Amino acid sequence: MEKINKTQDYGLTQEINAVYEEQRDEITSFICDLIKHPSLLGHEDSAQNFIEETFVNLGLDIDRFSINHDELKNVEGYSPSVGDWDGHDNIVGIHSPKSQNGKSLILNGHIDVVPVGADDLWSSPPFSPTIKDGRIYGRGGGDMKAGIAAYIYAFKTLKKIGYRPAGHVFLQSVVEEECTGNGALACLHRGYKADAAIIPEPFNETIMSAQMGVMWLQIEVTGKPAHVLHDTMGNNAIEAAFSIWEHLKGLARLWNDKNHTHTAFHDVTAPVKFNLGKISGGEWASSVPTRCVIDIRCGFFPGQSPQEVRQLIEDYLNVATERDTNLKSINHAITYRGFQSPGCVVDTNSEFINLLSNTHESHLGRPTELFASAATTDVRTFQLYGHIPATCYGPEALNIHGIDESVSIQSTMDVSRVLCHFMTQWCGIEKS
C-alpha cells in the first residue's frame, strides 16, 4: 500500500483554522447544550431531537428510525436487547455531493451515556455542565458528546467557508453503544456503507488499532434457605455468588497470562477485564439467602467468537464449582443479555489510517499514536460486518464512566479541525 506522506493542499488551511478560532465558544456551548439532555439508556429522545435539528440546519437529509429488534435479531453481530423503549431512535444526516467524485465517509458517535453513579459524589450535578480550566464537566461530555460535536463542526466549518465534501458523508448519532451496539448495527443493516468510518471516542487523540471483545452475562445463584440459627444447614446464595466471582477472576488471570494474549495487546497490561457490575439477592437479614443474581462483564481477545467464549466460561465454571466444597449445594444458571461482541483489529497500514495519522501530524504539529483498547466500540460493527475500514480518533477526556467526567475543549477543537482537513483529503471538496 502506498504511503501518503503529503496531503493535497487546497489552500484552505488558514481559512479553516481561522473559522475554528472564531467557533471556540460556539463549540463549547454546543457540547454543554448536548450534555443537558440526559440521554441515559432509553431516554435518548430529547438529545436526538437536538441532533436532528442540528443536522437539518447543516442542510443534511434526515433519516430517523428505531431499532427493529425482530428484524435485527437474526443479523450477525446482534446482541440480545436489555430492554424495549419508545423514543429510542437513531439519526443519520446524509450529505449527497453534486459531483460524487470523492470517497465516502461515515462519521459516527453514540448519543447514549452511562449511569451517573452516586450523584452526590459529583462536584456539580452531572447533567448541568460546568466549565473549569479549559474543560467541560458533565456526564457524557467526553463519552462522547464532544466527539459528536467534533464531527458536526468538521462538516459545519467546511460549509462556512463555502465548500462541501465531494463524496457521500453520513453523520450518524446512534443509541445503545454502551450495552449492545445494536444502534450502529441497525444503521449498517439499513444500508449505510462507506469507504471508511471514524468514531471520535475519547481516546486522547490516538488512533485505535484494535479492540477487545466484550460479553455481558448474568449468573443466577440458588442456595438452600434456612434460619440463621441453622446456617450450616443452608447454603448462602450471596456468599456462593462471591465464590463464583472469585473463580471467574481466576479465568481472567489465566487469559491475561502473556502466553494467552493476542499480538495486538502484547503491550497492554491485563487487557482482559472482568467486572462484577451489579448484584442483587437475599430476602432479609434473618434468613440465609436463597438466591443471588450477579451481572458480569467479561473481556476477551479478537479472533475468539462469542460462542467459543461462552463455552469456555461455562466449562471453566462447571469444573471450578464442582471442585469447590463450599458450592456443593449450590446451583448456578447463566443467561446472556447485552454485549455479545467479538473484538477486532484495524489495518493500520491502510491508506485510510495513514491519511488520518498524517493529517493529525501535519495540522497539529505532533505525532499521534496507535492505541489498543481494552473496551469495545462500534468500530467492530463497521469492520467485521460492514467490511468498512474503521477506527476511533477523538478528544482527550477524564473519568469517563466515573465521577466528574470531563473533556478538554482544546483537544475537541483540535480533533474537529483534523477531521475537517481529513474530510477534504478523503472525500475531496466541491463548491457549495
Task: Tell me which residues touch Zn ion (CB under 5 A).
Answer: 143-144, 201
Which DSSP state fits 224? B
166 vs 175 by CB, closer to Zn ion: 175
179 vs 219 by CB, closer to Zn ion: 179
Residue number of the CB atom closest to Zn ion: 143
Q: State in angstroms the smallest separation of the CB of 252 from Zn ion.
A: 22
Q: State in angstroms the smallest separation of the CB of 200 from Zn ion.
A: 9
Which DSSP state fits 138? S
49 half-sphere exposure, CB direction, 13 A CA radius: 7
C-alpha cell at 405: 467526567
Taking the C-alpha atoms of residue 160 and residue 153, their distance in angstroms, rounded to an integer, is: 10
- Residue length, the chain? 432
Q: State in angstroms the smallest separation of the CB of 109 from Zn ion.
A: 8
67 vs 241 by CB, closer to Zn ion: 67
Cβ–Cβ < 8 Å for 337, 175: no
113 vs 288 by CB, closer to Zn ion: 113
Q: Phi first, then psi: what are they for 262, rounded to 5°?
A: -80, 145
Beta bridge partners of 344: 211
C-alpha cell at 308: 467459543
176 vs 414 by CB, closer to Zn ion: 176
Q: State in angstroms the smallest separation of the CB of 389 from Zn ion.
A: 20
Taking the C-alpha atoms of residue 327 and residue 244, their distance in angstroms, rounded to an integer, is: 9
Distances (CA, A) of 293 to 53, 219, 221, 233, 240: 42, 6, 6, 21, 11
Q: State in angstroms the smallest separation of the CB of 174 from Zn ion.
A: 11
400 vs 423 by CB, closer to Zn ion: 400
144 vs 221 by CB, closer to Zn ion: 144
Q: State in angstroms the smallest separation of the CB of 110 from Zn ion.
A: 6
DSSP string over 151-196: HHHHHHHHHHTTEEESS-EEEEEES-TTTT-HHHHHHHHTT---S-
Q: State in angstroms the smallest separation of the CB of 173 from Zn ion.
A: 13
Q: State in angstroms the smallest separation of the CB of 284 from Zn ion.
A: 39
374 half-sphere exposure, CB direction, 13 A CA radius: 16
**Helix, strand, or coil here: 13?**
helix
Please state, as a whole number, how many other Cβ atoms lie within 10 Å of the Cβ of residue 276: 16
209 vs 373 by CB, closer to Zn ion: 373
Contacts of 57 (CB under 8 A, 6+ apart): none
Q: State in angstroms the smallest separation of the CB of 87 from Zn ion.
A: 21
**Helix, strand, or coil here: 331?**
strand
Q: Phi first, then psi: what are they for 246, rounded to 5°?
A: -60, -40
144 vs 150 by CB, closer to Zn ion: 144
358 vs 408 by CB, closer to Zn ion: 408
Beta bridge partners of 233: none
Q: State in angstroms the smallest separation of the CB of 217 from Zn ion.
A: 21
